[in-house]
Amino acid sequence: MPTGATRHSVNEFAELVVHLAVARYDEAEADCYLFYCTGGWAVLTDTCHPTEAEAVAQAKFEFGDVTFVRVPPADG
């Protein structure tokens, strides 16, 4: 549940965000993104962070005690 610590410009943000994901677009990219997703994993918005740890810290700042499950990259 969002803590309200950060303001997003998405209408009904707190009601729409069900999942969070942290990812890079590819291994060569340094930046990590925190994706805010609906129940069906549609991305509503994202924030960019220099490291994975900082993206996770932002998620915890906004949503409290969250846990991320590492998923191996898809082949292809």
In 10 A of CB 12, how many CB atoms? 8
Token readout for 13 is 């943000």
Q: What is the pLDDT of residue 3?
A: 52
Share of the chain above pLDDT 70, in %: 82
Share of the chain above pLDDT 90, in %: 50
Q: Where are the alpha helices (DSSP H) in the chain?
A: 13-16, 52-63
- Using an 8 Å Cβ cutoff, are 49 and 31 in contact? yes
Q: What is the pLDDT of residue 40?
A: 95
- The residue-averaged pLDDT of 24-31 equals 81
Instruction: Find all residues with CB under 8 Å of 63, minimum gap 6, and list them.
Output: 1, 2, 3, 20
User: pLDDT category, 69, cuts 50, 70, 90?
Assistant: very high
Q: What is the pLDDT of residue 12?
A: 73
pTM for the full model? 0.80
